[in-house]
Amino acid sequence: MYSEKFQASLKAVEAAREKNTAYEPQRMTAQQKEDLLAAYHPDYKQDEFELLKIGPNKGDKVPSQLADILQAHSRITAESVDLSAPDYDVDVLVIGGGGAGASAAIEADEAGAKVMIVTKLRIGDANTMMAEGGIQAADKPNDSPAIHFVDAFGGGHFAAKRELLRKLVCDAPEAIQWLSELGVEFDKDADGTMITTHGGGTSRKRMHAAKDYSGAEIMRTLRDEVLNREIPVVDFTAAIELILDDKGNAAGAVLMNMETKELLVARAKTVIIATGGAGRMHYQGFPTSNHYGATADGLVLGYRAGAKLLYAETLQYHPTGAAYPEQIFGALVTEKVRSLGAKLVNVNGEVFMHPLETRDVSAASIIRECSTRGNGVDTGNGKGVWLDTPMIEKIGGEGTIEKRIPAMMRMFEKYGIDIRKEPILVYPTLHYQNGGLDITEDGMTTNVRNLFVAGEAVGGIHGKNRLMGNSLLDIIVFGRNAGINAAKAAKETEVGTLTLDHIAAFEKEMADANICTETVSPKLLPDYTRK
């Protein structure tokens, strides 16, 4: 139920619904999109960024909050850790218990490697669990990996590393098959045909889903498989520093028990960083759709050990975060809501854009509507625009919402809003880290041997903006890929003497660059306690 102050605008939305449902808005031209992004997208706000003073990306621009944790002190010194008697000794160490980490662990196990997962919360506490809308794969007769490639390359502003994108799109159908064979329940017709929809910026309907629990369904299945394989999962334990060997190769990590703070040493022949994103860094003060542990840990670990970043200056603001009620401020409203036909409507009941532009363009357009155009709805906690969910039932028939987006229905129902009958209020929310550690096609970082990366911690697969449904895809494709290649590399690796010398070397670089800071990193968890 919306209070009195929303009623006038709600009436306008309702009055225009019939007309708006039938209306087919124009898509923007390339030039219009470019101008819009430059004026309104958060990535273009120069004063929110800083140039890195040290490390492999010296001189590159990153969000200020990221610069702060990249150029920070380690939680430990080399002297405080005894590397001579490791607590764990494995072939492949996977850092992170999300979809990428679990996929990597399963494949490394399949390849016969001794693999271990370490995760600072529980296995499955990850953005994968929260991905709602779906996973892309060009598996319909009117589609092809080449068309998928063009959609993703253009959507990412022609900046993706093409060999990574090629892998993403060509391995996509097999990824869906792999998940199906593990028992993931994709939405299908009675004859087995996948029910697929559009996402923003797709030119074919290739979004596969499991209702609007797509990521949760994938994650819980992968978790179950990891447990069935009896792969050790060391939970509530964070990796706080990588360990190298005397050849400069990745050779393990220093771990910290999140509850007792006990330090542990894991030696490994190869290491996979699968630590996910950074939404809980709240860049530019945005709310986030991310899980509690999304604090860019992998970028910090990798950077301090000498690995290079790519496109760390580009973040994705999901156009439709919940703007109201405040208890769910910033929570994800899946793009699937728009895939199913709901349009974005301003305070006056006007459709102001095509609902399926790419995410960066949609976010910028909503910000414009709520700022200079003055057509936003006052939520009491900022501005928002309407996402007219009742259109879905008009188009798909009664019952479509309950069947296709039950999680959304439940989320708003708890606050007395029936999305089948009433629209919802949305505003962009920090959603995805487009950039990350730079890898080659085998999943290894470009400049630290035996250090692999998978999932959201990777940069370059999507370029500077990611399409809906390509992230669930990327964690599976590149998670499996990293697992396979890390297991292979482990077979050919003799670990040398372990060292943490890079900590002191990084400290020296900081001192030489006159960086004075009290920040220690990785951050591990946000601090939301009242001060």
Partner 1 sequence: MENMVNIFLFGKKYEVPDNLTIMTAMEYAGYQLVRGCGCRNGFCGACATIYRIKGDKELKACLACQTKVEDNMYIATLPFFPLVKEVYDIEKVSTTEAVMMQLYPEIYACIGCNACTKSCTQGLNVMQYIAYAQRGDFEKCAEESFDCVMCGVCSSRCPAGISHPQVAMLARRINGKYLAPECGHLEDRVREIKDGTFNELIEALMQKPVEEMKELYNTREIEK
Just list the catalytic residues.
318, 338
Shortest distance (Å) from residue 32 CB to partner 1: 12
Does residue 530 touch partner 1 according to CB under 8 A?
yes
Residue 22 CA, chain-centre distance (Å), reads 34
The residue among 89 and 224 lying less far from partner 1, judged by its C-beta, is: 224
- Contacts of residue 365, Cβ cutoff 8 Å, sequence gap at least 6: 36, 40, 319, 344, 352, 353, 357
Per-residue x/- track, 384-423, partner 1 (CB under 8 A) = ----------------------xx--xx--x---------
CA distance linking residue 454 with residue 100, whole number of Å:
6
Does residue 228 touch partner 1 according to CB under 8 A?
yes
Of 433, 412, 410, give the one whose Cα is nearest residue 323.
Answer: 412
Among the listed residues 75, 211, 318, 466, the single contact to partner 1 using CB under 8 A: 211
Write out the two tokens for 266. Answer: 């894991």
Where in 274-333 is the site for partner 1 (CB under 8 A)? 289, 291-292, 326-328, 331-332
Among the listed residues 38, 227, 395, 511, the single contact to partner 1 using CB under 8 A: 227
Which range in 37-45, 225-233, 244-252, 460-468 contacts partner 1 by CB under 8 A?
Answer: 225-233
In DSSP notation, 255-297 reads: EEETTT--EEEEEEEEEEE-----GGG-GGG--B-S-TT-S-H
The residue among 160 and 273 lying less far from partner 1, judged by its C-beta, is: 160
Does residue 46 touch partner 1 according to CB under 8 A?
no
Write out the two tokens for 373. Answer: 């155009």
- Kindly give the pairing relationship between strand 237-245 and strand 498-499: antiparallel
CA distance linking residue 372 with residue 167, whole number of Å:
41
* Cα–Cα separations (whole angstroms), residue 87 to 264, 298, 496: 6, 21, 17
Does residue 28 touch partner 1 according to CB under 8 A?
no
Among the listed residues 54, 117, 129, 268, the single contact to partner 1 using CB under 8 A: 129
Shortest distance (Å) from residue 238 CB to partner 1: 10
Shortest distance (Å) from residue 169 CB to partner 1: 8
Which range in 52-60, 202-210, 455-463, 469-477 contacts partner 1 by CB under 8 A?
Answer: 202-210
Does residue 261 touch partner 1 according to CB under 8 A?
no
Which range in 69-77, 226-234, 305-313, 503-511 contacts partner 1 by CB under 8 A?
Answer: 226-234
Shortest distance (Å) from residue 497 CB to partner 1: 34
Number of other residues whose CB lies within 10 A of the CB of residue 410: 12
How many Cα atoms occupy the beta-carbon half-sphere of 370 within 13 Å?
24
Please classify residue 281 by burial: count the beta carbons closer than 10 Å to its beta carbon, then call 0-12 exposed, 13-18 middle and 19+ buried: buried
Q: Where are the beta strands (DSSP E) in 274-407?
A: 309-310, 315-322, 344-345, 377-378, 383-387
SS3 383: strand
Shortest distance (Å) from residue 258 CB to partner 1: 5
The residue among 196 and 450 lying less far from partner 1, judged by its C-beta, is: 196
Residue 90 CA, chain-centre distance (Å), reads 28
The residue among 82 and 185 lying less far from partner 1, judged by its C-beta, is: 185
Does residue 192 touch partner 1 according to CB under 8 A?
yes
Shortest distance (Å) from residue 99 CB to partner 1: 13
Shortest distance (Å) from residue 345 CB to partner 1: 22
Among the listed residues 12, 76, 182, 515, the single contact to partner 1 using CB under 8 A: 182
Does residue 221 touch partner 1 according to CB under 8 A?
yes
How many amino acids of this chain bind partner 1 (CB under 8 A)? 85
Does residue 188 touch partner 1 according to CB under 8 A?
yes
Torsion of CA 355, 358, 360, 362, to 10 degrees: -10
